Amino acid sequence: MTSRQFPHPSRRTVVRAAAATAVAAPVLAAATATGARAATVPAFLHGVASGDPLPDGVLLWTRVTPGPDAVPGSGLGADTPVVWEIAEDRAFTRIAARGTAVARASADHTVKADVRGLRPATAYWFRFSAAPGGSPGGHGVLSPVGRTRTAPAAASAAPGIRFGVVSCANWEAGWFSPYRHLAARSDLDAVLHLGDYIYEYASGSYPTQDTVVRPHAPAHEILTLSDYRTRHGTYKTDADLQSLHAAHPVIAIWDDHEFANDAWSGGAENHTPGTEGAWAARVAAAKQAYFEWMPVRASTEGTVYRRLRFGSLAELHLLDLRSFRSEQASVGNGAVDDPERSVTGRAQLDWLKSGLAASDAVWKLVGTSVMISPVAFGALPAHLLAPLAELLGLPGEGLAVNVDQWDGYTDDRKELISHLRDRSVTNTVFLTGDIHMAWANDVPVKAATYPLSASAATEFVVTSVTSDNLDDILRVAPGTVSVVATAAVRAANRHVKWIDMDSHGYGVLDVTAERSQMDYYVVSDKTSKDATSSWVRSYRTLSGTQRVERADAPVR
């Protein structure tokens, strides 16, 4: 594809919240540090964003700070009229659409504009403005300028689509340099965020206090609507995250840490109802803050599963694997095979199956927050058992299956894979995050007999932006112990073609009619603001093969 140049965890101790303005004060200070206009109100301290591109439209987002006390989560500050504009040039001489909205205290002064009537496969620039004192009309204070891009027309034969792919960004674990490197690219149609955009823990809980790179706000574990708003606001003061959102439309789904660790429909590992309130109330607060602060179209069902189409080349099926799942089973008790248990919920699985079977797109891309490929474990040295168990969400006394992933819900996986085979659904590629490692896998029909048995799909897993992986947990240099662990995993799982257990970074997925290729990039040091980025591997799936193979170089 030719590059396009656009115009320019265990339980955590709960520390009760202080007053909302006190806990949010560090957010305002952090925003000031980014160079935002803290002295001018209203102000756009949290950047601008776009998301969920359509052939004729895109969702625009910002957050207005109407006064010094109106920090995220405070509930303070006047409702403020906002003007949004989207143009075909950075100078805004060719305005494509303009409209108004109101940044309301009831929505934490966030603003969304779902703009339609745009041209397909077109780059646009957008901005917001708010007049001092909340008076309507006029430009007033201008936001930063963002750029975005619409999707190709639904029936058009797009020559190629290219996505940045990221997952698992823990504020306290490091700096978000992968976002900066993706923001600097001018060849992306969108960035796909596969979950764990924020983390819910108390400061110093994960990672441990002695390895915290920068403290987040609030300092306590987030439980209430104010807490979740404040944490989202903290994240969006990061300069690299602001750059990413200003450069590309973001397509996001959630995983567990947008709520609490190992979340399921009725609770989470990191939630204690007796001291932390009802789970339903916490979920409602987390979802409200998420839809306020993310450039994602909110559904009437309060979920993020949805489809986006990119011409006749690709259709992207995005999953919600937290809202409807059964509680995770205990390893080794046989419940993982119980057909009554589900990771998707019946309605979502039926929706996915019917959508895949009916799709006429060349490629069926599935955004799943947890890995679908089965993973069995052979003998591992004792010093690797515990850290791998921590990463994969397994008990330290033994590794059988990862019960938080599709391995813990085998009937759903079997039904979906059988559906792909029975309906002759080809070119299905799962795009995954969650486990802070990079993988390239075939998705076998029967793992025990692979490669003699068929592969129904393929899977590309991206590593974390900052969240701890194997060398971080063991506090050793990358590669010191992973060679042994990788060899053991691959020996027991012949459908796994590659694993990187040590690095942090991102992926770039390039899709053409002939193949889907994931280029894997790593950053030099997650604790450095100036970390460099380098390509390490590429894997691709050729059309019609359902197999992963190594590619010699990244797509240019």
Q: So what's the pLDDT on residue 335?
A: 86
| For residue 34, pLDDT beyond 50 | no
Q: Residue 281: pLDDT above 80?
A: yes
Mean pLDDT for the chain overall: 89
Q: State what percent of residues in the chain have pLDDT above 70.
A: 87
State residue 431's pLDDT score: 99
Q: What pLDDT was estimated at residue 524? A: 97
Instruction: Name the residue type at position 317.
Output: H
pLDDT score for 330: 83
Looking at mean pLDDT, say which of 83-87, 397-401, 452-456 comes out highest. 83-87
Residue 22 has pLDDT above 50, yes or no: no
Average pLDDT over residues 353-363: 98
| Most confidently predicted of 300-309, 353-362, 370-379 | 353-362
Per residue in 110-128, pLDDT tens?
A: 999 999 999 999 999 999 9
Share of the chain above pLDDT 90, in %: 77
Domain extents for the chain? 20-149, 306-503
Residue 37: which pLDDT band, with cuts at 50, 70 and 90? very low
Task: Give the CATH number of domain 20-149.
Answer: 2.60.40.380
Task: Please name the fold of domain 306-503.
Answer: Purple Acid Phosphatase; chain A, domain 2 (3.60.21)
What's the pLDDT at 536?
A: 98
- 20-149 and 306-503 share one fold: no
Q: How far, in Å, CA of 376 to CA of 480, rounded?
A: 23
Rounded Cα distance, 183 and 197, in Å: 16
Mean pLDDT of 459-476: 90
The CA–CA distances, whole Å, from 130 to 33, 62, 206, 232, 278 equal 22, 11, 38, 22, 38
Distance CA 231, CA 220 (A): 10
Task: Give counts: helices (H), strands (E), the chain.
Answer: 11, 22
3-state secondary structure 317-348: EECCCCCCCCCCCCCCCCHHHCCCCCCCCHHH
Which stretch of 169-183, 185-199, 380-394 has the lowest confidence by average pLDDT?
Answer: 380-394
- Half-sphere exposure in the Cβ direction for 487 (13 Å, CA): 8
Higher-confidence residue: 434 or 449? 434
pLDDT number for residue 279 = 98
Question: pLDDT at residue 9 above 50?
Answer: no
Q: Tell whether the torsion through CA atoms of 340, 346, 348 and 351 is positive or negative.
A: positive
Which one, of 424, 429, 433, 459, lies nearest residue 365 by Cα? Answer: 429
For the segment 162-188, the average pLDDT, to the nearest whole number, is 98
Give the model's pLDDT for residue 10.
Answer: 34
Q: How high is the pLDDT of residue 401?
A: 59
Residue type, 112: K
Range from 196-205, 478-487, 540-549 carrying the lowest mean pLDDT:
478-487
Tell me which of 449 and 394 has the higher pLDDT.
449
Residue-level pLDDT at 480:
75
The mean pLDDT of 489-495, rounded to a whole number, is 89
pLDDT recorded at residue 393:
55
Position 13 pLDDT exceeds 50: no
Q: Name the band, by pLDDT with cuts 50, 70 and 90, for residue 400.
A: very low
- How far CA 445 is from CA of 13, 507, 544, in Å, comes to 43, 26, 16
Residue 481 has pLDDT above 90, yes or no: no
- Among 10-14, 152-156, 416-420, 426-430, which is the least confidently predicted range? 10-14
- Give φ, ψ of 244 to 5 degrees: -60, -50
Q: Which of 57-61, 137-141, 149-153 has the lowest mean pLDDT?
A: 137-141
**Residue 246 corresponds to which amino acid?**
A
Work out the pLDDT band at 398, boundaries 50, 70, 90. Answer: very low
pLDDT at 8: 35
Instruction: Please tell me the predicted confidence (pLDDT) of residue 134.
Output: 53
